Structures are given as C-alpha cells and as structure tokens.
Structure 1
Amino acid sequence: MEITGSCYCGEIKYQAKSQNNNALVCHCSDCQRMSSGPFRAVIIAEPNSVVFTQGEPKEFVKTAQSGNKRAQGFCGTCGTTLYATNEAKADRVYGLRIGAVDQRDQFTPTAQIWAKSTLSWLSGLHEVPAFDTTPQN
C-alpha cells in the first residue's frame, strides 16, 4: 500500500510503502514521554521505502529501553514527530508516527508492545464521555 504523510506545518512530506494493518502501539515510558501522550502508534514501512519528497527531517538518536540506538525523525520547524528508525543510514526500517500519515484511518494496530508500562486509566477510556467539540462549562 502506498502511503503519504507530512508534518503539521507542511515543510516535510514523504511517501512510503506499507503492508495493510502493519501498525502497532508502543506503551514504553520513552514513547510516552517523547509523544507527550499515553502511548505512540506507528505504521511499519517496508524497508528502504520511505522517500522524502519535500524537506529533510532532523534526527535525534536515543538509546531505547531495549538497548538499541534509534533515530527519531521530526520537523525542525513545527516539531511534529515523524518516525523512528535504526541509527545507520542504510537498510532503514521506519516506524512512521500514525498521526502524520494521511491514510491513518485505514490502519488498525495489530499488536501492543511494552504493555507493562500501559497507563492504568487506558482500560476504562471507552467509559469516559466523548464530545465532537470542546464541552461548554
């Protein structure tokens, strides 16, 4: 499946290939902190299939909880996180951040990893009232 994506400001754009439903959710504490959210959802792109069609992302290399060094790609202007991949520039496998993928609604996560770090309130989220806009006080 061909997918496209971009950062919030549109400075960085890319295209990639992924198998349908090749998505997962990571609950590790690093993903929680780096996304400023309860987890991070990613679509795994086929190896070496990501092509940046506009702009070049900045990268920050961190050591993951697994001990692996992971390059975190983001837009240097708006700060949108775009991916994580191996540190080496060759044979890259990208975990594309699902929020930056245009076709994000076509993917359903098939696995959750680092489940022991899942925030306790997530299991009851479906019981929290939901609104289409910000509720008025």
Structure 2
Amino acid sequence: MSLPYTGGCQCGQIRYEIRAEPLTLYVCHCQECQKQSSSAFGMSLTVPRDAFVITQGQPKCWTRKADSGREVKNWFCGDCGTRLFHERTYSPNTINVKPGTLDDTTWLRPVGNFWTRNAQPWVVISDQMLNYDGQPDDVHLLWQKWIQQGS
C-alpha cells in the first residue's frame, strides 16, 4: 500500500485520507467497542492527528465518557451512521480511525488486544500479539510491535 490511504462511510457522503503511516492497529474487546461495532470487538488504527484529513462531507460528533472517565469524541456519518474515527482528549496528537472504513483493508494486521477479560468466549486471542486484560498504561509497545511487524 502507498500513501495516502483513503476511506469513507458506507453511503459515500464522507471521505477521508490518511497522509502518514499509521502508528499501530489493535483490537478492543471492551463492552463499549462491542456496542459501537455491533460485534464482538472494535478495531482502532492509530494515526497522527495532522495526517488525517476529511476530503468530502462533514461528519457529526457524539461525545462519551470512557470507563477511565476520560472523554472520547466519536465521529460518524450523519446520513448512514458509519463510525469513522475517535478523538481522545487525553491524546490530542493522535486519532483512532475505524479501519473497516478504509477502501482497502487487506493489509491490516492488528498487533494487540485490549480488554481481553471482556472478550467473547469464542474469540481466539493469539499469544503472538500484545494482550492486555484491560487498558494498557503505555501504548508505545504497540507502536514498536507495529514497526517490527513491518506494517
């Protein structure tokens, strides 16, 4: 894959570009991610904030408190409802893109799992990944593993 990475919502009203290499990709099994994805987990592709550009449309925002008590802004398409990315007030230099919204997802290889204690019993957690029972204190190990993986 070559930059920029492109993506958007299901109905095509919102389009975006990622203009720098992602920092990491992980899977989260917390109950909030299960709800927002309507699935067993959510995925987050962490990218530098200034490398993410909306090229078409204007997403809407819904703000919630995470289990940690920190604020998370959830951006989505107001027409089709597709969740596009999350901004965390405690990490202003990065955002988490919902990677299923990328035009090409074939290159995605998660390097870690968060909140494994909430994982559905049928989900297989690889011991080749960085796995955390809850929220990790330091995400830099995930960034290092992403680089080592060559993603």
Residues 55/92 of structure 1: CA separation in 2 closer, same or farther (3 Å cut): farther
Q: Say whether the 8 Å CA contact 1:21–1:107 is kept in structure 2.
A: no
| Cα deviation 1:73-122 (Å, max 9, x = unaligned) | 1000001110111249x945211111101232112000111111101111
Mapped partners of 1:40, 1:32: distance in 2:
6
**What residue ranges of structure 2 are gaps of 5+ in the alignment?**
126-151
Aligned counterpart in structure 2 of residue 8 of structure 1, from 7, 10, 32: 10
Q: Which runs of structure 1 show a deviation greater than 2 angstroms over 4 or more consecutive aligned residues?
A: 17-21
Post-superposition offset of 1:123: 2.5
Residues 92/78 of structure 1: CA separation in 2 closer, same or farther (3 Å cut): farther
TM-score norm. by structure 1 comes to 0.81
Aligned residues with identical type, % of pairs: 30
Post-superposition offset of 1:68: 1.2
**What residue ranges of structure 1 are gaps of 5+ in the alignment?**
125-137
Q: Say whether the 8 Å CA contact 1:18–1:44 is kept in structure 2.
A: no
Computing the radius of gyration from Cα coordinates, the structure with the larger value is 1
CA RMSD for the aligned pairs? 2.1
Aligned to 2:57: 55
Q: Say whether the 8 Å CA contact 2:22–2:46 is kept in structure 1.
A: no
Residues 7/56 of structure 1: CA separation in 2 closer, same or farther (3 Å cut): same
